[in-house]
Chain A
Amino acid sequence: MMRFDFGALALRGFTALMMLFLIFPIGVTLLVSLNPREFVLPPTGITFEWFRAAWTSETFLRGMSVSLVLGVCASLIANALALPAAMALVRCDFRGKAAVNLLLMSPMLIPTTIFSLALYIYFVRLGYGSGLLPLLVGHVIHVMPYALRIQTASLHRFDPSFEEAARNVGAGRLRTLVSITLPVMRTGLVSSFALCFILSWNDFPISVFLAPPGWTPLPVELFSYIKFQYDAVAAALASSLIVLSAVAMVLIDRFAGLRRVMRS
């Protein structure tokens, strides 16, 4: 930990300004969503009218259910693919491990524009251009590296000697997995799932490329809405997304350390 105390005041002031910049759109959205006068300040009170409108809007509800199904499925599949890979990466030493690791992380390094376009063309050529499959595949591939990262981190965190100690006192392979390995993994899996879900739930670029007609995820729905309408209902929906993201952030940070996960 370092302390740079030169120009400490200027540094603090600048940081405060930047934090304001970062929080500004989020704070304003929350404010408008609760403000009875919509965009007119100062607020005269608190209303949940906009939230009610947002949460009963048929378009939004449909978007939500699409995003929910998509997020849950994508997270489950991505985690299921990542778990055995993470175990192999952490537990075994083999030649080309670094290369395999890089390969598995590669979706993070490919611009979403290109990745989405590639999937789009691929599925068009395979004849699935307008199905739900491309969208699901896109989301799975997009979130899988994050799942892999959290899971390897949580596997790394425990010393193999924990398992050796369990074997030493007489636990079998399976018993060790159930009583020692998985309890430690459980928190990792929870945060991994939370991260994958929230990334999928909030995703716009991939969805806008790959969503078939009639299966519009919530962010794309919200985008179409704000393109033509300017009201506090959109703010209420955006606020709901912010709150959900914040909950996920807390979960992930609690169990996996947000910073290690988000570093690219």
Chain B
Amino acid sequence: MLRRVLPPLLPALLALLIFVALPMLWVVRTSFNELVDGAYMVEALSLDNYTRFLGNPWYLVNTLWFSVRIALLATAISVICAYPVALYIAGTRGLLRNVLMSLVMAPLLIGLVTLVYGWIVIFRGGGLLNSLMIALHVYDEPVRYMWNIKGVVILLVYIGAPYIVLSLLDSIEKISPYLVEAARNVGASRWTAFWKIVFPLTMPGLYAGLVIVFSLNFAAFAVPLMVGDSKTQMIGLVIYREALLNNDLPFASALSVIMVAANTLILLGMGALFGRLILNKLEVKQ
């Protein structure tokens, strides 16, 4: 069997081994190296890069904790935006459904830079939104929407919400409408039927979406790079800057390890929370 299966799988597996697994291991190794002035970096086994980050309250607060907060906030807003949309789309069909699905998926395929450009046109100081609001006398001074935390969160929501819609839809479409009817039949109002039947059954989809979107948000560097300012030092952005602008590969590597570790911890926490809420009941073995 193995002799039949291995040859076709080998090229792809080798590519992943050589260009994903090994490089990732290199990152871990590099994180223990030292940067020496004049030299690019030297082989070493030191924890300096870790202590430099973890021992520095400024980094901890303004990068690690800041990234966690922004990622959680953007994820939460994405969920609030996505849930009703998924619910509505699940009830549509035909042309309307196709149009809605295309709109939802457009941000996933259209490049980030293109989308950011559109938001800049809308949000910049003299942009459309400010012109409109000032013309309508909602406020008189232009509001700063871009190149700050607001811009970063808006963009992260814009990119993240579609993923949550898609993964919620997977769950919602598995719910037979008869389950809702059965609840109505034994005396549940629409609201009760939603909260007691539909909502719990969408938890697996919601959880799957949360995991993806939180990880995306937590690691984001392009969004804060494009629409952030000096205060939006998300960890992904710091990694980018250290690696490409400061050429401090050991430090960037250590930051990557820390980022993955923190991400894993947070996802485990979410998993435990959700597990206790609902998943244990749905995943009991046969």
Contacts and interface: CB of A to CB of B under 8 A. Distances in A.
A158 interface: no
B219 to A, nearest CB: 3
Nearest to B28: A118
B118 A140 contact: no
Interface string B216-241: 10111110011000000000100110
Contacts of B88: 11-12, 14-15
B199 to A, nearest CB: 11
Contacts of A59: none
Contact of A113 (B113, B177, B191, B239): B239
Interface stretch (A25-33, A49-57, A166-174): A25-33
Interface string B257-275: 0011001000000000000
Contacts of A201: 111
Query: B interface, by DSSP: helix, strand, loop or mixed?
Result: helix
A257 B115 CA distance: 23
Please indicate which of the listed interface residues B24, B109, B221, B259 has the most CB atoms of chain A within 10 Å of its own CB: B109
Given A85-B9, A94-B5, A230-B124, A264 B163 contact: yes
B256 A28 contact: no
Contacts of A74: none
Query: A interface, by DSSP: helix, strand, loop or mixed?
Result: helix
B26 interface: yes
B27 interface: yes
Contact of B219 (A89, A114, A121): A114
Contact of B103 (A22, A198, A202, A223): A22
A100 B9 contact: yes
Contact of B109 (A208, A220, A262): A262
B30 A4 contact: no
Interface stretch (B55-63, B137-145, B165-173): B165-173
Contact of B244 (A106, A198, A209): A209
A249 B109 contact: yes
A27 B244 CA distance: 34
Contact of A87 (B8, B114, B249): B8
A228 to B, nearest CB: 12
Nearest to A19: B103
B68 interface: no
A157 interface: no
B172 A2 contact: yes
Interface string B13-50: 10110011011101100100000000010000000000
Interface string B105-141: 1111111111111111110101110010000000000
A73 interface: no
Nearest to B121: A28
A2 B91 contact: yes
A88 interface: yes
A148 B12 contact: yes
A121 B12 contact: no
Interface range on chain B: under 10, 10 to 19, 20 to 34, or 35 or more? 35 or more
A245 interface: yes
Contacts of A92: 1, 4-5
A112 B5 contact: no
Given A103-B13, A121-B249, A238-B114, A259 B84 contact: no
Nearest to A115: B20
A242 B119 CA distance: 14
Please indicate which of the listed interface residues B12, B105, B240 has the most CB atoms of chain A within 10 Å of its own CB: B12
Contact of A249 (B106, B116, B259): B106
Nearest to A14: B84
A188 interface: no
Interface of B: 1-2, 4-5, 7-9, 11-13, 15-16, 19-20, 22-24, 26-27, 30, 40, 81, 84-85, 87-91, 93, 100-122, 124, 126-128, 131, 158, 161-163, 166-167, 169-170, 172-173, 175-177, 180, 190-191, 193-194, 198, 212, 215-216, 218-222, 225-226, 236, 239-240, 243-244, 249, 252-253, 256, 259-260, 263
Sorted nearest first, the 7 A-B pairs with minimum C-beta distance are: A25-B118, A202-B111, A111-B219, A84-B8, A6-B190, A118-B23, A122-B23
